[in-house]
Amino acid sequence: MKKLLGIMVLGLLWCNVGFAENFNVKNALKFTKETGLVRCGVSGIPGFSGRSSSGNWSGIDVDVCRAVAAAVLGDASKVKFIPLTRKESFRALVNCQDKTKCVDILARHSTWTLSRDAGIGLTFVGINFIDGNGFIVRKKSGIKSTKDFKNGISICGNVGTQTELNTKFFFKSIGKTYELLPFEKAWEVVAAYDSGRCNTYVTDRTVLMAQRTKMTNPDEHLILPEIISKEPLGPVVREFDPYWENIVRWSLNTMIVAEELGVTSLNIDEMKNSENPKIKRLIGIEGRHGEDLYLDQEWSYRIIKQVGNYGESYERNLGYLLPERGPNNLWKNGGFIFVGDFR
């Protein structure tokens, strides 16, 4: 029996090593420490991972990668951001052929689904935003609801995405036809819709809000009230790398728990004197969670100090679009954002 178990363990180890060699990846924690950079795949969607004219990245997805850099490397700025199209995104994580686009974290506005989590070598490590697909139209069209859609309506959208499938299911449910004009890159979809090549544009409603601000005449467009899907979005890592998976998961969790406990980038040094055991564990004064993650004891302190808590990140990046956080409020404020405790 012991011999059989030993053979099974060796087989699993061989499979894991073979997987890593096949996809040209190394242990992400070791690789990150060797290179001094966190390789992060991003989308370029404002509010989530947009780049300014000066080349600086910002967004709630960006902040997840900065949090990991603060935890592992001690400096939240040590991130290499790699813009990826939808088509490139998962390949850059698990089947990287183009060395310039290999990543160890995909923080690219990705929807958590069973087929992605269980079928293609990925692990979703949490939810940092909850959204839903919707439509935008020109006000002059007279369309005020999806109930006003006519058969054959033309729709601009990204090809090969969960949104494409959601759109197909939605139109089947309402018994109407449509024509999809597919594009690979987000800016191509926006440009096509803005130039009048299609009647409507479909994607996550928060993205529609951000993209509308970049259109020629933003006030001429209306986001319809219907939400046709649920989109739990979050960072993704490769399977078979449990140390890295835990680090990325608890880097995000640190930001969420910090907001829950009222610990911010501005008051965290004062919080070192707190008598609250939950705060002490969060910032590393008590407990051994640094050792559990193969990090030092101040990794979570650095995340909060350098990046801030989840609420700070949300306000900084999305507050101008969605001041009412809705489902992205903490659970204690009526939302759906919650994680486990530091214990």
Q: What is the pLDDT of residues 99-147, one digit of tens each?
A: 899 999 999 989 998 988 887 789 999 999 999 999 999 999 999 999 9
**Which residues lie closer than 8 Å to 196 by C-beta, 6 or more apart?**
none
235-254 residue pLDDT tens: 999 998 999 999 999 999 99
Reported as a pLDDT band with limits 50, 70 and 90, residue 11 is: very low
Residue 1 has what pLDDT?
43
Clarify whether residues 184 and 317 are in a common domain.
no
pLDDT above 70 for 320? yes
Joined tokens for residue 326: 């809705």
Clarify whether residues 119 and 204 are in a common domain.
no
According to DSSP, the residues that pair with 233 across neighbouring strands are 111, 129
**Cα(82)–Cα(251) distance, rounded to whole angstroms?**
20
Residue 39 has what pLDDT?
97
Domain at 211, CATH number: 3.40.190.10
In a domain, 163, yes or no: yes
Determine if residue 160 is left, alpha or beta; phi over 0 gives left, psi from -120 to 50 gives alpha, anything else beta: left
Clarify whether residues 137 and 124 are in a common domain.
no
Clarify whether residues 161 and 303 are in a common domain.
no
Clarify whether residues 214 and 243 are in a common domain.
no
In a domain, 86, yes or no: yes
The residue with greater pLDDT, 303 or 27, is: 303
Clarify whether residues 205 and 237 are in a common domain.
no
In a domain, 112, yes or no: yes
Joined tokens for residue 23: 């996809």
Residue 157 has what pLDDT?
93
In a domain, 125, yes or no: yes
Q: Which domain holds residue 240?
A: 20-129+233-333
Number of domains forming the structure of the chain:
2
**Cα(305)–Cα(180) distance, rounded to whole angstroms?**
46
Clarify whether residues 185 and 215 are in a common domain.
yes
Reported as a pLDDT band with limits 50, 70 and 90, residue 26 is: low
In a domain, 100, yes or no: yes
157-216 residue pLDDT tens: 988 788 999 999 999 999 999 999 999 888 899 999 999 999 999 999 999 998 998 899
Residue at which a domain ends, from 189, 212, 229: 229
Average pLDDT, the chain: 90
- Taking CA atoms, 269 is separated from 90, 272, 301, 304, in Å, by 39, 5, 9, 10
pLDDT above 50 for 333? yes
CB neighbours of residue 154 within 10 Å: 14
pLDDT above 50 for 19? no
| CA dihedral sign of residues 191, 197, 198, 199 | positive
pTM, two decimals, is 0.85
Residue 119 has what pLDDT?
78
Clarify whether residues 211 and 177 are in a common domain.
yes
- pLDDT average, residue stretch 54-73: 97
Determine if residue 113 is left, alpha or beta; phi over 0 gives left, psi from -120 to 50 gives alpha, anything else beta: beta
Residue 180 has what pLDDT?
95
Owner of token pair 């479909």:
202
Residue at which a domain ends, from 229, 259, 292: 229
In a domain, 342, yes or no: no
pLDDT above 70 for 23? no
Clarify whether residues 237 and 321 are in a common domain.
yes
251-288 residue pLDDT tens: 999 999 999 999 999 999 999 999 999 999 999 999 88
Residue at which a domain ends, from 163, 194, 229: 229
In a domain, 14, yes or no: no
- pLDDT average, residue stretch 36-48: 93
Clarify whether residues 199 and 239 are in a common domain.
no
pLDDT above 70 for 27? yes
CA 168 remoteness from chain centre: 24
pLDDT above 80 for 25? no
Clarify whether residues 67 and 184 are in a common domain.
no
Q: What angle do CA 338, 90, 15 make, to 5 degrees?
A: 95
According to DSSP, the residues that pair with 222 across neighbouring strands are 137
Of the candidates 168, 41, 153, the one whose C-alpha atom is nearest the C-alpha of residue 92 is: 41
In a domain, 277, yes or no: yes
- pLDDT average, residue stretch 39-53: 92
**Cα(249)–Cα(339) distance, rounded to whole angstroms?**
10
For residue 337, give the DSSP letter: B
Clarify whether residues 264 and 316 are in a common domain.
yes
